[in-house]
Structure 1
Amino acid sequence: MKRFLLVLLVVLLGWIAYERENLWAFPDIISAYTAKEYCSCRYVMNNDAEYCRGYVKQWLPTSGFSDDVDSKTITVSGMGRSNSAQWLSERQGCRLNP
């Protein structure tokens, strides 16, 4: 049994080392996806705010969320990262801010 757990631990550590770049990018994806999708739902599709909050809700919660209606900018924080998206125009839609 101990040998099996040791082999399992080595395999798990090997997988983590192999996928380290993807695992490092994951926290950024949560807040970026939420900001971009909410912006598109709210300002491109013109849905109400409550519907769009439900539309972008994920099983990993976000720690911060702000919707600046005047500038049409959404800022979302989660898992230690923060991203924002802004509505540009009817033709261009929403874009993640760098």
Structure 2
Amino acid sequence: MRGFVRRRPWLTLMWVAMVVLLGWGWQQRVALWAFPDIISAYTAKEYCSCRYVAHQPADYCLGYVKQYVPINGFIDDTEHKRVTASGMGRSNTAAWLGARQGCRLMP
């Protein structure tokens, strides 16, 4: 084994880095699995709050919720005050419940 490390130090370093990265990924698997859902949930909830609680214009709110990770679909149902955002294979809806409750993510 010592001879392999001496002959191929970069390959050995890559293998060690890959094992460490896989170990870290396994430890963080719950958080990494939840990440795609966070993107669409954040967009729907924050846009709903910006638009229907703070009464800001639609263009302003779209800029407010813009992220580096793009969303695939976006629906602003102004009649029912509901917002649906889709991204990374997940979709979430937020609805305005009233002046005292604000916006909430819907199941």
Q: Bin the TM-score by the shorter chain.
A: over 0.9
5+ long unaligned stretches in structure 2: 1-9
Matched, 1:79 2:88: yes
Q: 2:59 aligns with which of 50, 63, 69?
A: 50
Cα distance in 2, alignment partners of residues 62 and 51 from structure 1: 17
5+ long unaligned stretches in structure 1: none
Pairwise CA distance, 1:15: 0.6
Letter in 2 for 1:88: L
- What is the RMSD computed on CA atoms of the aligned residues? 0.3
Moved over 3 A (4+): none
Q: Between the two proteins, what is the percent identity of the paired residues?
A: 63
Cα distance in 2, alignment partners of residues 32 and 45 from structure 1: 18
Matched, 1:4 2:4: no
Q: CA offsets per residue over residues 38-81 of structure 1, 9 Å max, x none? A: 00000000000000000000000000000000000000000000
Cα distance in 2, alignment partners of residues 75 and 2 from structure 1: 47
Number of aligned positions between the proteins: 98
Q: TM-score, normalised by structure 2?
A: 0.91
Q: 2:24 aligns with which of 3, 12, 15?
A: 15
Q: TM-score, normalised by structure 1?
A: 0.99
Q: Which has the larger radius of gyration?
A: 2
